[in-house]
């Protein structure tokens, strides 16, 4: 018998990731140090966001997910924008998305909700003719653990438009997926 299986339990890493994101939304505010509540946080200069995610529903997108890094600039207490690059994996295809990421933070507090939009080009590593244009709108929460480092759970809808569909080829339809993300900013 497989070491991660029993008669009643099968370990699923994607369901585990969604559980971690959900629990972090509920629990992390309690662990934010009290001395950082109500103080000013990093909102100037260069900032980096590193995120990983899983596509849902898990039954449909088995083993699919992505990882991306955003390097950008805090334009004010509420606005952040930058260049994003990453890896997105589906069952047989691996894409390298390159695009722009914009975030709007509702407050300058230890715990703040935000809205995010990113979009760009996703190159298929194996077959450039099946590359895509993508866009994603997300909502999330930013939990500062100190004045610079933050944990960022979020969820969003990602639209994918194969370039063959943009060119009008038959059989290449745009599609959309939901994604759960967990990230860090510094």
Across residues 95-101, what is the average pLDDT?
93
For the chain, how are helix, strand and coil distributed in percent, rounded to 5? 15, 55, 30
Q: Is the confidence at residue 9, as pLDDT, over 60?
A: no
* Class of 13-185 in CATH: mainly beta
Comparing 7-21, 107-121, 124-138, 146-160, the range with the smallest average pLDDT is 7-21
Question: In angstroms, rounded to a whole number, what is the distance separating the alpha carbons of residues 170 and 58?
Answer: 28
Cα separation values, 174 from 84, 162, 166, Å: 22, 6, 9
Q: Report cis status (omega within 30 of 0) of the bond before 57.
A: yes
Bridge-based pairing of strands 175-185 and 79-89 is unpaired
Q: What are the extents of the domains in the chain?
A: 13-185
Strand-pair partners of 160: 134, 175
- Nearest residue to 181 via CA among 142, 154, 157, 156: 154
Supply the pTM of this predicted model: 0.71
107 versus 105: the higher-pLDDT residue is 105
């Amino acid at each position: 018998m497989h070491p991660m299986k029993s008669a009643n339990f099968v370990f699923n890493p994607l369901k585990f990731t969604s559980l971690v994101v959900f629990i972090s939304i509920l629990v992390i505010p309690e662990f934010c140090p009290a001395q950082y509540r109500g103080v000013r946080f990093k909102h100037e200069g260069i900032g980096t966001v590193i995120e990983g995610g899983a596509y849902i529903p898990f039954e449909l997108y088995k083993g699919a997910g992505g990882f991306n890094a955003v390097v950008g600039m805090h334009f004010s207490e509420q606005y952040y924008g930058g260049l994003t690059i990453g890896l997105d994996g589906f069952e047989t295809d691996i894409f390298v998305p390159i695009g722009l990421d914009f975030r709007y933070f509702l407050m300058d507090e230890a715990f703040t909700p935000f809205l995010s939009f990113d979009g760009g080009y996703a190159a298929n590593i194996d077959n450039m003719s099946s590359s895509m244009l993508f866009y994603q709108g997300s909502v999330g929460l930013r939990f500062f653990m100190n004045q610079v480092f933050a944990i960022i759970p979020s969820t969003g809808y990602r639209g994918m438009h194969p370039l063959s569909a943009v060119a009008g080829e038959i059989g290449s339809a745009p599609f959309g997926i939901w994604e759960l993300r967990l990230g860090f900013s510094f």
